Amino acid sequence: MSATAGAAGSSRPRGRRPGESGTRKAVLDAARLRFAADGYTGASIRKIATDAGVDAALVMRFYGSKDDLFAAAMVIPPDAAQAFSEALDGPLDGIGDRLVRAFLRLWTDEDAAAPLLATFRSAVTNEQAAAQLRAFIRARLLEVFVPRFPDVVDAPLRATLASSTLLGVVVGRQIVGIDALVDAEFEDIVAILAPVVQQILVP
């Protein structure tokens, strides 16, 4: 064996992965991070396989297609999503503060952030992602806020405007990376944004 061949062989990971379930999870974790970074169009099965340390053929065997892998990667943990809905509980006069806190935490939550960012980045070019994002906003805000506060005039429009405002902050802070938003403290953002959201939802 040549020195070159020996060096190449020594660079390969040794041993087997800890079972199919562990490998499948590694692929899914890699897919979430890659979709979050590159969006649906920019991410590829080959890149995801490389990130996960497996062959592209194994990714296809697990998930069948890029679309099916993307659908699996977009699933948001129920506990994280439930925390956002629970922000609507409590007195109406504090809903702006609770909603802003829950929303910003959701996008930085260790389990929820990657699938959310993957969905958000991909929604511009992929209808599946756009539909998933619409469904999330509808299920977590519109379908909860509107029935709970029937006396609020134009509640569906107000809930949509509030969610659009919050999504704008996410774009600026975590997608575009605007310095003032990235550098701002969590509590400073809440202090400025919460009264705005409160005014939108409850005039």
Cα–Cα distances in Å, from 197 out to 99, 111, 155, 160, 176? 8, 25, 13, 11, 22
Same domain, 167 and 82: yes
What's the whole-model pTM score?
0.69
pLDDT tens for residues 43-93? 999 999 999 999 999 999 999 999 889 888 877 777 766 777 788 777 888
* Amino acid letter, 127: E
Q: What is the DSSP string of 102-117?
A: HHHHHTT-TTTHHHHH
Same domain, 82 and 59: no
The pLDDT of 133-144, averaged and rounded, is: 77
**Cβ atoms of 152 and 202 closer than 8 Å:** yes
**Cβ atoms of 83 and 102 closer than 8 Å:** yes
Looking at 26, 47, 73, which one is the last position of a domain?
73
Same domain, 102 and 197: yes
Same domain, 47 and 103: no
CATH of the domain at 40: 1.10.10.60
Same domain, 21 and 105: no
Q: Decide if pLDDT at 117 tops 90.
A: no
